[in-house]
Every structure is written in structure tokens, then in C-alpha cells.
Amino acid sequence: MITEYSAEELKSLLDKLMAEYEKCKALNLKLDMSRGKPSPIQLNINNDLLGEIDSYITENGADTRNYGLLDGIPEMKRLFSELLDIEQDKIIIGGNSSLNLMYDNFMRLYVFGTQGNTPWGRLDNYKFLCPCPGYDRHFAVSEEFGAEMINVPMTENGPDMDVVEKLVAEDPTIKGIWCVPLHSNPLGVCYSDETVERLASMKTAAPDFRIFWDNAYGVHHIYEDVELADIFKAAEKYGNEDRIYYFFSTSKITFPGAGVSMVASSKANIAEIKKHMTIQTIGHDKINQIRHVQYFKTAENLKAHMKKHAASLRPKFDIVLNTLDKELKDTGLATWNPVKGGYFVAVDTYPGCAKATVAMAKEAGVVMTGAGATYPYKKDPEDKNIRIAPSYPSEEELQQAMNLFCLCVKITGIKKLLEEK
């Protein structure tokens, strides 16, 4: 444990590591581990989607080239329905961005309110629960609409439900929570059945408390297939079916730049969304929907397809996890999460070292996600969480980047230990 070293020992190790760091800098690296985006090799898996379309007529005889079918073509709804086990009439098909569906959904709650409740934007103040570390773009949406964001700690089973239940039971101005229930960004946490049940059943002081269920990595298993409990079924059991907005997209199944997204909710909520949607848009790209359906045909094929992505991602996650193990295990300077799928590994540095680590890595040509980005207002209270996104770089690049990253974690940790002596 480096944390148990004497000042002498720390100084001596620091000198050695700094020399290594200077050598690394001389390599003039230009590497990027900041973004959860698929690699060109993953994208190539889908190139048949760029080919000719078979037919532009839907199974109910509609022409996907023309106006109509505001909420999506039936076969696209069915594909998502079978894949995620959600009734078809609870589904609305979106464009290529599920983030856009979340933003629009948040906006409607803010401007119009839901099921007769006061619009959130008409309240003096309101709050939103943000399990963290989490996804920066979620937090940005709630910040955009003026919600006060409340940090909720994460456990290995999801948000700390004791904290969540207490907060929502007492405070009617708490209006919702962000959830990434499988392979969460960035922790890779998969919500346990108990967590899902408690989220669906808990008593909330706000009648319009809403769960933004962003199942972004719902079929994105890498090391292990994980089953997610059915939140709709659980919510219905407790009469809370209006509580759930379920989001999904093919961004990391087919193409981030040209996928198909989905929002699902109770029938009452879907009717409400459609009422506004019919004013907002003529409906989303239906040719791209039929293109996706013709490409996958069945949910089974889509799941099989995800094995190809997993095979492409697994060696990269191996590099990240093995390098962390080799360089940082038992140093006392870092911990990280176990990973079963998704796009990220989250590392906790020695407290107070995340910003410095990211800055050092950047100086040597390795771009990481900004420290703090995984917390509301970009404020990591302990300045320790760093998100690693292994998907985009090549394996060779990734190995170089990880070597440097671990070096930076050690150097900044040792510097902090010396400060504390």
C-alpha cells in the first residue's frame, strides 16, 4: 500500500514515476478516452444498414416516405416491444436521439405539467434526484430547466434506496430521479430486482414524481448477460404506472449518428405525450425505422448482433481492467467498479486527485472525460471520480493511454500524500 509509505519512500517513488512521465510526454501521444462512442470497427458491423432498402411500405400498408404515423411504424414498435418486453401501445418511436426524447419529456413536465399537476416551471422551486456518479447530459437537462439537483449515492445495487425513499416521502418538491438501470454510466452498476421494486412502489410526497428510466445499455452486455426486473409490471402492481418514462435507442446498436429511439410509458402518459407531439412534429424518420426493422427482423437477431459489439469491446475492457489491476491494485491510490457491460469504467483516485490526474494526462496527450463531469453542476465533492471510455481508441492506443493514466493516478496520489504528511 503506497498510502502507508514514509515521506522518504514517497519522494523516492515520485522521482522515479516523474521520470517515466517525462518519457511518456516525449512520445507526443494524441489519444482520447473521453467519449463513449463506438469505434469505426463497431460501426462497420452495421454497414449493411447503408445499403438499399427492401420496401418502403409498412405491414399496415402505410408509405414510410410520406406523412403519417406520428408515433412510429408498427413493426418498429414491435421490435422494441419484443426486445424490451414492453407492450406495443406503450411505445412511441422517436428520431435518432433518445436524449432528445428525454429533454422534450422534461420540457413538457416543466411547461405543461402532467396529469393535471402544476407544471414544474410554475413552482417556486423543485428538485430532482441525481444518483452519482452519473451521466453528465442527464444532469445538464435538469439544470437547463432549473431543477435543484440532489446528489444520491450509488451502491452496487443502484441508487441508495434508503436515501431515496426517505427524501421522496418527505419532500413534495422532489419531482423525479434519473436512472440508468443497466451498466450505468459511468459505474457499470446494474439495478437489483429489489431496487427496481422499491423505485416502483415507494411512496412519494409528489403525486407527479417521475422516474426517467434511461435503459441506454439495456442489451449492451460485454462479460455477462444481466436481466433487468420489469419496472412497468412492478409500478402497475402498486398503481404507480404513470411514474415511469422508459427511454431506449439503437445509438450503440446500429449508428449513433442515425439510429432510432423510443420512449415508453403508461397509456395515460403516452396519450398526453401524443397530444403535444402532434403539435411539435410531423413525426420522425419512418424510412430509417423500416430500414432498421428490415435489418434486424427480430429481437433475437438484434440480441445476437450485440454479441458482435461485445466481442469488439471485450479486449478493450480487458486492457483497461488488467492495466488498472497491474498498476494500481493494492496501492491504496485507486478503486474501480466491476464491469459486466456498457461503455465505461469509473475509477476513484485518492481523494482530491481527479482534476490533477486528468490535467496531467492531458498534458501528456491523453484526453479523459473532465473530472467532475459525472456529478451535478460538475462538482465532485471529493474530487476523485474519473470516467474511462475505452470503446473508441484502438487496442494499442488504449494500452498506451492506460499506462499513462495509471502513472498519473500514482503521481497525483503520491503528491497528495506528501502534502498531507
Residues lying near its own copies in the complex (CB under 8 A) are found at 35, 37-38, 40, 43, 46, 50-53, 56, 63-68, 95-97, 99-100, 103-104, 107, 110-111, 121, 137, 140-141, 144-145, 251, 255-258, 276, 279-288
Closer CB to its own copies, 54 or 194, in the complex: 54
Amino acid identity of 300? E
Shortest distance, CB of residue 132 to its own copies, whole angstroms?
A: 18
Type and span of the H or E element at 214: strand 210-214
Task: Name the strand (E) or helix (H) holding 22.
Answer: helix 7-26
> Minimal distance in Å, beta carbon 35 to its own copies?
7
Q: Measured from the CB of residue 258, what is the shortest distance to its own copies in angstroms?
A: 4
Q: 3-state class of 215 per DSSP? A: coil
In this complex, which beta carbon is closest to its own copies, that of residue 198 or of residue 309? Answer: 309
**Alpha helix (H) residue ranges in 40-182:** 40-44, 74-84, 98-111, 136-144, 161-170
End-to-end Cα distance, the chain: 16
Q: How far is the CB of 396 from its own copies (least distance, A)?
A: 20
Task: Identify the DSSP state of 154.
Answer: E
Q: How far is the CB of 349 from its own copies (least distance, A)?
A: 27
Question: Is 387:407 a contact under the CB 8 Å cutoff?
Answer: no
**CA distances, 218 to each of 41, 230, 307 (Å):** 21, 12, 13
Closer of 288 and 357 to its own copies (Cβ): 288
Q: d(Cα 376, Cα 355) in Å, to the nearest integer?
A: 16
Q: Which one, 13 or 107, has the nearer CB to its own copies?
A: 107
Output the smallest distance, CB 201 to its own copies, in A: 32
Of 256 and 365, the one with the shorter C-beta distance to its own copies is 256
- The dihedral sign for the CA sequence 233, 235, 241, 244: negative
Measured CA to CA, the distance from residue 409 to residue 110 in angstroms comes to 41
Q: For its own copies, which is the closer residue by CB, 281 or 322? A: 281
Query: 302 CB contacts (<8 Å, ≥6 apart)?
Result: 79, 83, 219, 253, 296
User: Minimal CA–CA distance to 316: which of 385, 256, 388?
Assistant: 388
For its own copies, the closer of residues 260 and 409 by Cβ is 260
Nearer Cβ to its own copies (76/234): 76
Measured from the CB of residue 240, what is the shortest distance to its own copies in angstroms?
28
Sequence-separated (6 or more) residues with CB below 8 Å from residue 61: none
In angstroms, give the least distance from the CB of 180 to its own copies. 16
